[in-house]
Chains A and B, each alone.
Chain A
Amino acid sequence: MPDALLRTVNMTKRFGGLVAIDSLDLDVLPGTIHSVIGPNGAGKTTVFNCIMAFLAPDKGEIWFDGERIDGLTPDRVAASGISRTYQNLRLFRNVSAIENILVGMHLHLRTSWWSAVLSTRANREEEREAHREAERLLHFVGLRGRGDVLARNLSYGDQRRLEIARALATRARLIMLDEPAAGMNPRESRELMVFIRNLRDERGLTVLLIEHHMQLVMNISDRITVLDHGQKIAEGLPDEVKNDPVVVEAYLGTRKRHPAEHA
């Protein structure tokens, strides 16, 4: 078995008295689609926020590609090769789609601001190449020709695509998608499924996925981790997780514990 690309060891995050993540050990293997599922409030997005260094874990370690990344600032985490999307879209709404992607390419543009002032040849060439790559990314996510539209004027589904394109623009090796299918109709989520597979198969990316859409998760995941109340209650292949009684209980509750839910 290869070494994990992303590994959290004993990661714990508390908000006051609430334990949002409880001693989580998570191993994401390179080249896999790894899903994190669980009921609302299980701590899934908190896991993303801790990995991306939006939040500092109270305990534990986070390793990425053999380097320890907890304690770094978010920009350093991004530079190490991790990128993410957000549960409630966070595009730069007032600029065009292509500018959103260009911001995402910040990390691998090299020329300095004063070469832009002097308009040096290196700077102009880099800008031209950056625009070309941004166009390719737009094409890849299915937004060809929509580059000049303001981000906030794109349809909801297109905004989701654009956010993924922006995340891809960083050339990250691990991409974390936070509920990418939220608000999508069945056809769109089927397309998304194919798209996420492409990320793995064509681009060789590792995908860490939070998703509520069970059919999508079961179809594309190589491995699934189930969280409930911040604890890992199950992990394994989709089929193993699906039939795990602990998981079923966490999701549906038992008749005894939650009579109201089934009334």
Chain B
Amino acid sequence: MSFEIVSSGFQHRQRTGTPLSQALKTGIVFGVLSLYLALVGVYLTFDKSWVVVNVLSMGRTLLFVVPLLAGVQFARLNRSQSRAVQLGGTLLVGLIVGGFTACLLPVILFGNLRVMFVALSSPLAKMLALGLTPVLGAAVLVAGSAAAALFGALLTVMSPTVRRPITVGLAALAVVALLQEVLQLILRGGGAAFSFITRGLFQYGGLTVRGAIIVFVAAALVSIVVARLRAPFKARFAELPPGAARFLRQAGIVILLAAIIFFPLIGGSFVAQVFLLVGLYALMGMGLNVEVGLAGLLDLGFVAYFAIGAYTIALLTADSPHALASMSFWAALPIAVLVSVAFGFLFGIPVLGIRGDYLAVATLGIGEIVRVLVLSDVAQPLLGGAQGILNIPSPAIGSFELATPTSLYFLTVCCLALATYFAFRVQDSRLGRTWMAMRDDEDVAQALGINLVKTKLLAYSIGAAFAGVAGAIFAVMLKSIFPHSFQLLISINILALIIVGGLGSLGGVIVGALVLIGLPELLREFGEYRFLLYGAVIVAMMRLKPEGLWPARIRRRETADA
């Protein structure tokens, strides 16, 4: 694959430099990264959250994580050098990174660049100086960076049996610190048994010193035990008869799946809300995966079908002057699906003859047309314009109302399971093969007797059906809908999640939704900066694992054979 050629060539060029030039280059690259993080305000924002409350802020940690990573990178490139060269080079790398960062201190104190860079404020200066006087602070910052780089290099060259527990422990600490708010919320909801853990590890705002030590040590111990048990366990597993091994593997998957599905039950309503959103996106991802992953029809207007499903439910069930009927949710749901399918069919017609990149642009137009129409004065009497439609009742089973995030989440899971089964059966059927053929070569497919019109419209319609269901649940989740809920960004998010998960892979849709929708929701306390992570994840994925987190069977074969 072309990606590998590019990246391997890049690494090859990197390895050919002398250790000195390597150190300079690595130092400058990570130094610039550190400057960037400071300038866009990441350091300052993260300084408000704690890794360990009142001891170590996340911003300060990040300040030293950057040189640490620089040290790792340098040590990796110079594994074969002598110890003296490694030591000197690493120190140089750390000093350069620290020096770059420390340069900001005089800039903030004596210059005034706040017109351009809002983040260059005196709080940042205080933070960079680590609370000391500027001169002393700068010295400590540079020295600390060198020490961090040295630590990173040390981690890289030490034996894996020692390295693994340390890195696992640090990683666990980072995860717990990042997710502390959610974790505390979950643990508090869990009753007495959990409140013991809560009190042992956390205080308001983050981990206590004792908590941090416990997390680190516990994770390290687990990693040691796992490393010990791994080889004998694998050997035992290999001895099992194939039937039993398969059963165990499948049982493992089922247990994991059940754990994920029922997690919101113990996680409380915030977690349920996040999972509900993940489920809705996964449902839409299933639909878009039919269009893009299976049939190869790039669709950037997919949000239109989501909106159509939501508005159909609103018009048929809401207690509002715009309502056309006052049906129950369950009666309106099939109609919403049918209406979405009808629009999928309808919108498919004008773009039938368009291929590839042009198709993306054309469908983009369709998505925007729907949004603008809904907002317009012409449709205002019918669809409520920018004021939207309010008072959408929750679905009810008997007298039980599905009003909480948890109950709606389980409704979503049921729909998602149905959609997944549907997609699973279709992708290996004659229709699935037809889509595959069309994706690979439209002309040849047609010359083998495949009716392209029918095949494409079927893909659009089925994709739209899944999005329609998601829209219907979205409407009862918010209890009111507005045109601005259906932005282009949603289409792009769905496309991103199926690509990151693995185009054409059903498992990938779910993994992609968890990573790209779930994680940013859990990291809400970092505000807009979490989208920085979002972007970084997408770029890194395309660079390192272009086939996706859970590649489709076909693509797995492709990369295995390549």
- Closest chain B CB from A105 CB (angstroms): 9
**Which residues from 534 to 562 on chain B have a C-beta closer than 8 Å to any C-beta of chain A?**
554, 557-558, 561
1/0 contact trace for A81-109 toward B, CB 8 Å?
00110100010111100010011101101
**Which residues from 102 to 130 on chain A have a C-beta closer than 8 Å to any C-beta of chain B?**
102-104, 106-107, 109, 111, 113, 116-119, 123, 127
A92 and B440 in contact, given A74-B447, A116-B425 (Cβ under 8 angstroms) = yes
Instruction: Tell me whether B239 is interfacial, beta carbon within 8 Å.
Output: no
Instruction: Tell me whether A198 is interfacial, beta carbon within 8 Å.
Output: no
Residue from the set A83, A109, A113, A119 with the largest chain B CB neighbour count within 10 Å: A113
Instruction: Tell me whether A251 is interfacial, beta carbon within 8 Å.
Output: no
- Closest chain B CB from A171 CB (angstroms): 10
Number of interface residues of B (CB under 8 A): 29
Residue from the set A54, A83, A103 with the largest chain B CB neighbour count within 10 Å: A103
Report the separation of the CA atoms of residues A74 and B437 in the bound assembly, to the nearest whole angstrom: 15
Majority secondary structure of chain B interface residues (helix, strand, loop or mixed)? helix
Report chain B residues within 8 Å CB of A93: 440
Report chain A residues within 8 Å CB of B554: 94-95
Instruction: Tell me whether B22 is interfacial, beta carbon within 8 Å.
Output: no
A116 with B426: CB separation less than 8 A: yes
- Closest chain A CB from B1 CB (angstroms): 12
A113 and B458 in contact, given A99-B433, A102-B433, A106-B430 (Cβ under 8 angstroms) = yes
Report chain B residues within 8 Å CB of A99: 433, 436
B440 with A94: CB separation less than 8 A: yes
Report the separation of the CA atoms of residues A95 and B441 in the bound assembly, to the nearest whole angstrom: 12
User: Which listed residue (B426, B444, B451, B557) contacts A90, Cβ 8 A?
Assistant: B444
A92 and B449 in contact, given A74-B443, A111-B430, A113-B426 (Cβ under 8 angstroms) = no
Instruction: Tell me whether A153 is interfacial, beta carbon within 8 Å.
Output: yes
**Which residues from 431 to 460 on chain B have a C-beta closer than 8 Å to any C-beta of chain A?**
431, 433-434, 436-437, 440-441, 443-452, 458
Residue from the set B425, B448, B557 with the largest chain A CB neighbour count within 10 Å: B448
User: Which listed residue (A54, A153, A170) contacts B448, Cβ 8 A?
Assistant: A170
Instruction: Tell me whether A40 is interfacial, beta carbon within 8 Å.
Output: no
User: Which listed residue (A79, A90, A106, A127) contacts B434, Cβ 8 A?
Assistant: A106
Report chain B residues within 8 Å CB of A84: 447
Range of interface residues on A (Cβ < 8 Å): 35 or more
Instruction: Tell me whether A166 is interfacial, beta carbon within 8 Å.
Output: yes
A104 with B448: CB separation less than 8 A: yes
Report chain B residues within 8 Å CB of A123: 429
Instruction: Tell me whether A47 is interfacial, beta carbon within 8 Å.
Output: no
A95 with B436: CB separation less than 8 A: yes
User: Which listed residue (A54, A75, A104, A127) contacts B451, Cβ 8 A?
Assistant: A75
Report chain A residues within 8 Å CB of B558: 94, 150
Instruction: Tell me whether B330 is interfacial, beta carbon within 8 Å.
Output: no
Instruction: Tell me whether B262 is interfacial, beta carbon within 8 Å.
Output: no
User: Which listed residue (B440, B446, B448, B458) contacts A83, Cβ 8 A?
Assistant: B448
Given A113-B429, A119-B425, 4 more A-B residue pairs with CB atoms under 8 Å apart are A52-B447, A54-B443, A103-B450, A117-B426
Chain B residues near A (Cβ < 8 Å) = 421-422, 425-426, 428-431, 433-434, 436-437, 440-441, 443-452, 458, 554, 557-558, 561
